[in-house]
Amino acid sequence: MELIADFISRNTEETLSYARKLAHENFPRGSVILLEGGVGTGKTTFVRGFVSEWELENNVTSPTFTLMNEYRNDKIRICHFDFYRLNSLEEIMELGIEDYLSNCDFSFIEWPDIGEKVLDFAAYRIILKIGSAENERLISIKTP
């Protein structure tokens, strides 16, 4: 994987703005985007910014309990997964993940570790970390 971008966000609005910018610049349609980072690093905030750029309903929430949220209009379909509560590859396959990944314009996967073992796809990787200053986030993007 090759690093294509590093960004320091000093607050939520900067994270949202950065994700909106990337919505049209870095990811071709059909992209799978893995979101890595601990609790509270801004994974869902990043997705919220990305989704808002496509004029979709901006009620983006973490799919921790629903496992998958879908945002769509007549121009685009964005799928947002969260594997945090899943314990096995079988549970991921039961979601119908392969069908979603092949039919969504963009697919975001939070906590992708367990899924990477079974899914055969090239994916971008966004790594979010808490920085040294209050509300600061370090965001790195790597190519598939």
Q: What is the pLDDT of residue 118?
A: 64
Evaluate the CA torsion angle 60, 11, 39, 102 in order and state its sign.
Answer: positive
Has residue 79 got a pLDDT over 90? yes
CA 48/CA 45 separation, integer angstroms? 5
CA 43/CA 107 separation, integer angstroms? 13
4 CA to centre of own chain: 16
> pLDDT band at residue 25, thresholds of 50, 70 and 90?
confident
Residue with tokens 């121009």: 75
Has residue 17 got a pLDDT over 70? yes
Has residue 49 got a pLDDT over 90? yes
DSSP 8-state secondary structure symbol assigned to residue 131: -
Q: What is the pLDDT of residue 58?
A: 65
CATH of domain 29-137: 3.40.50.300
CA 49/CA 28 separation, integer angstroms? 17
The closest of 131, 30, 115 to 67, measured between CA atoms, is 115
Has residue 70 got a pLDDT over 90? yes
Q: What is the pLDDT of residue 9?
A: 96
CA 103/CA 95 separation, integer angstroms? 14
Q: Which of 13-22, 72-81, 111-120 has the lowest mean pLDDT?
A: 111-120
Cβ-proximal residues to 98 (8 Å cutoff; 6+ apart), any chain: 119
> pLDDT band at residue 126, thresholds of 50, 70 and 90?
very high
Q: Where are the domains of the chain?
A: 29-137
Tell me the pairing of strands 77-82 and 31-36. Answer: unpaired
Has residue 50 got a pLDDT over 70? yes
Number of C-beta neighbours around residue 25 at 10 A: 7
